[in-house]
Amino acid sequence: MRLLEERIIKDGLVLSDEVLKVDSFLNHQIDVRLLAEMAKEWKRRFSSDQVNKILTIEASGIAIACIAAEIFDCPLVFAKKALTRNIAGAFFQTSVTSFTHETVYEVIVSKRFLGPDDRVLIIDDFLANGAALTGLVKLVKQAGATLVGCGIAIEKSFQKGGDRLRKEGIRIESLARIRSMNQDSGIEFEH
């Protein structure tokens, strides 16, 4: 999506070959107009999939997913991060290992808000190793819901999460796919 790529070039900060900072428009300060355009693009790509629920994970996915839920005219559910392994049986639950922070956390969704009638589009801001996304996919399966696909803002396609999940048959629509990045030579996108 050209609009997002141009914004990444203009306002993104390449901190290393692996770390891109987009906190001025995507995950600390948020440009809601940009988010609306991104949501419309996902709506275009998933127009015939009868999405009736958007799922994301706190915290940085919530804003993007919220505007997407508006455009798809359906409820948003965000999975919560929990530290304890034993939540009451009222939740779907799985463990996520964060490569970035070298921690393991639990991800939970109330059983009241995800079930067999749901056609779920997962939305998140980043896809790199795919740890969080894999956790969300597991929650959808636990619920017996239908996973329509995943809408990602920025995929670092030089990391392995996207390829691995696509090989499992999961549809992933990333609006900007970064093939490589470097503080000197800048960002190269896949098209």
Instruction: Catalog residues that contact its own copies under the rule CB under 8 A.
Output: 23-24, 28-33, 35-36, 58-59, 62-63, 66-67, 69-70, 73, 75-78, 80, 109-110, 112-113
Q: Which is nearer to its own copies, 109 or 150 (CB)?
A: 109
Nearest Cα to Cα of residue 153 among 70, 29, 36, 52: 36
Shortest distance, position 10 Cβ to its own copies, whole Å: 15
Q: Which is nearer to its own copies, 79 or 176 (CB)?
A: 79
Residue 53 in contact with residue 121, Cβ under 8 Å? yes
- The H or E element that residue 189 is part of is strand 186-189
Shortest distance, position 191 Cβ to its own copies, whole Å: 29
Shortest distance, position 44 Cβ to its own copies, whole Å: 19
- Which residues have CB under 8 Å from 158's CB, separation 6+? 178, 179, 180
Residue 74 phi, psi dihedral angles, 5° rounding: -145, 170
Q: Which is nearer to its own copies, 118 or 155 (CB)?
A: 118
Cα–Cα distance, 12 to 16 (Å, whole number): 12
Q: Which amino acid is at 168?
A: E
Shortest distance, position 162 Cβ to its own copies, whole Å: 25
Q: Which is nearer to its own copies, 47 or 110 (CB)?
A: 110
